[in-house]
Chain A
């Protein structure tokens, strides 16, 4: 009954995390969140931020993305678009639309990157820059942006995502409040598919009609509102999503910047930062705050979703493996004893165990009798239990951000979450197992698909 024991372990872990999140969000229920921000907008001492947007073949959306960034509410920031050797007209579009002129600045090379060819500055908007460099992947583009950036904090942002106007103030708040104790802070990622977007602003939040997207919405709610709040509270966060996170430049440089030869550069960096914090015996924190929201597009087709999941799983393994010494290492405290085991056992091994579970159900179909009843019940139970967590996440959403205006949205989320175990879960489990298989084969596609091919 290995599977049952495993289930109990996983379920109890989730339940604990859920409890922590429930208490946290219940406390903040109906808080007038905008009120707390007025302060920071007038803050003479607001920390300036460099926003780094890596772009690879994004001619379709880059101009709109930059336009939406230009209109954010934040006292001082600069935008650095890094063209990572695009083969399309990304460069030309930017140069043409924003009147970019070549400049020749003194750049401190703090992290090694591929050759930077040219740097441009907009003549009409002097805080908009464009770096043109040889292709080297997303991590390398971010590193080039870090080298060039002028400010002590930087934010990594995907080219195809849309920020709410006050998201920056909200995500910087913990950093400004904490006397520099918080060295990285990230917000929620929500799914833009199904929402009305115009000129880089969210007009109306809606629920997409594609089942695949709705399932991902539930998944994201669960991951962010349940998982990350719980982990963040005890400084156990190992993932700051690459799509929207602010980091202290000094710490990232000290850690050596983004690692270029991995597919999970965002997680790897956070793990390395945690390691650095503990090695230097400092009391620094990496936090997640739920209310700054970044809307991003997710795959709508099986093909891309499958690739994404396989890649994520490999990235997860690479980060864990590179830093495997931290597992159960007393030196790294709770990170070593809670986060690492959690990611190894629940996140990495999980799909294999679940796959075994599905196989067990199928086998018992042939054995029949008592085994069949037993299997069906276990299956039913896991179905319901999964839905319970999903609904709990929806509940947390309703207590905190309340982005879905309609009752019908809630009903829809409910019924989709009931079906998760029937089709979506097995699919993702299978894809993640494929990711493990690719690892075992030492697949040549190591570096394949570094950039997501969602809306490019």
Chain B
């Protein structure tokens, strides 16, 4: 019986040894191929670089410019991405896009259909970089797929936003269940004013995350025409949405009427008191300074810290903090005053 087992063990040892050899062979050959392909791509880049550059800058197409192999296409893809990153002129960008479209459209289209996730992802990245609007319908197809990875969905939605796709609002309403507010914000920030306004008009239909993202984006855009919208959100919503509205207002630094916001400083929620302190600091109305000094004595560290920072934003803030330092009985408030007076000019 033991003989049998020994035989079995011997066979498995041989199998494993074989497997090991296979892995080693695979690794070495792979590495060698990788080096070889890399070298070829680099050679192609050397060759293509002047030709493509000439086309982009002068519009001349060289007779020798054939992207007839995948290696050349890959080289062109790398080159174009590099150019795209630092080209700023409209003409050049348009030329680059044209070039990419005429030479690489099929290449990317094929990649989008690849079975491998990473190839599809890379294709999506490049479509965004090179602004290949001709592939919009394919990207849309990806974005609408039922079974698709999270990253692909996010990236394809982002591309559609860059392309200012007509139906982006409806798409985000119906097709963005698992996206975080940060991801949605990144998508929305790519829209132009016109498309963004659709989101404001349809705000009430949006889900929670999308609402947060829209309010945040309105604040980041720093455009006074959104003040009305944000104030109306503040007036008619509660909880986190309302908090985000206050944050957006403090990023804009303007409100039509102060009075609705004054009550925030007595809120039971420290986050609202902190946001009040932030807003008061960005509005810089002298009448708000006493409230901020009040908030500097708050029970919550976060509120005190924000109040200290906001007070420093006032022209006479430093003197006010000095006064607290000299006269207050509250050790915590004094500490905080000291901290902000001695902070370098950062944050």
Contact = CB atoms under 8 A, between A and B. Distances in A.
Nearest to A125: B344
B217 to A, nearest CB: 10
Given A105-B342, A388-B19, A418-B20, 8 more contacts: A36-B125, A39-B186, A106-B335, A106-B338, A177-B182, A179-B180, A374-B6, A377-B13
Interface stretch (A25-33, A329-337, A353-361): A25-33
A387 B116 CA distance: 29
Contacts of B47: none
A387 B13 CA distance: 12
A121 to B, nearest CB: 8
Interface in B171-227: 180-183, 185-186, 209, 216, 220
A106 B181 CA distance: 33
A381 B125 contact: no
Contacts of B28: 407, 410-411
Contact of B17 (A28, A29, A384, A411): A384
A298 B185 CA distance: 42
A45 B339 contact: no
A104 interface: yes
Interface string A72-83: 000000000000
Interface of B: 2-3, 5-6, 9-10, 12-13, 16-17, 19-20, 23-24, 26-28, 30-32, 35, 116-119, 121-122, 125, 151, 180-183, 185-186, 209, 216, 220, 301, 304-305, 332, 335-336, 338-339, 342-346
B335 A105 contact: yes
Q: Across chains A and B, which 9 residue pairs bring their CB atoms closest together, nearest first?
A: A126-B344, A106-B335, A31-B118, A179-B180, A384-B16, A377-B9, A35-B125, A105-B339, A391-B23
Interface string A163-181: 0000000000000111100
Nearest to A126: B344
A5 interface: no
Given A27-B116, A177-B180, A374-B2, A381 B30 contact: no
Contact of B338 (A36, A105, A150): A105
A32 B182 contact: no
A328 B10 CA distance: 37
A306 B24 CA distance: 31
A36 B31 CA distance: 25
A30 B122 contact: yes
Given A30-B119, A374-B2, A384 B27 contact: no
Given A28-B118, A177-B182, A407 B32 contact: yes
Contacts of B342: 103-105, 121
Interface in A381-397: 381, 384-385, 387-388, 391-392, 394-395
A31 B122 contact: yes
A99 B57 CA distance: 50
A370 interface: yes
B16 A398 contact: no
Interface in A1-52: 27-32, 35-36, 39, 43-45
A35 B13 contact: no
Where chain B touches its partner, the secondary structure class is helix
8 contacts: A28-B117, A31-B121, A106-B335, A150-B305, A177-B180, A370-B2, A395-B23, A418-B20
A32 B344 CA distance: 39
A104 B343 CA distance: 11
A378 B2 CA distance: 13
Where chain A touches its partner, the secondary structure class is helix
A54 to B, nearest CB: 23
A104 B334 CA distance: 11
A373 interface: yes
A313 to B, nearest CB: 28
A116 to B, nearest CB: 14
Contact of A391 (B2, B20, B345): B20
A248 to B, nearest CB: 15
A105 B26 CA distance: 59
A108 interface: yes
A28 B118 CA distance: 5
A35 B117 contact: no
Interface string A142-183: 000000001000000000000000000000000011110000
A233 to B, nearest CB: 14
Nearest to A411: B28
Contact of A381 (B9, B20, B151): B9
Contacts of B183: 177
Contact of A384 (B20, B220, B305): B20
Contacts of B151: 36
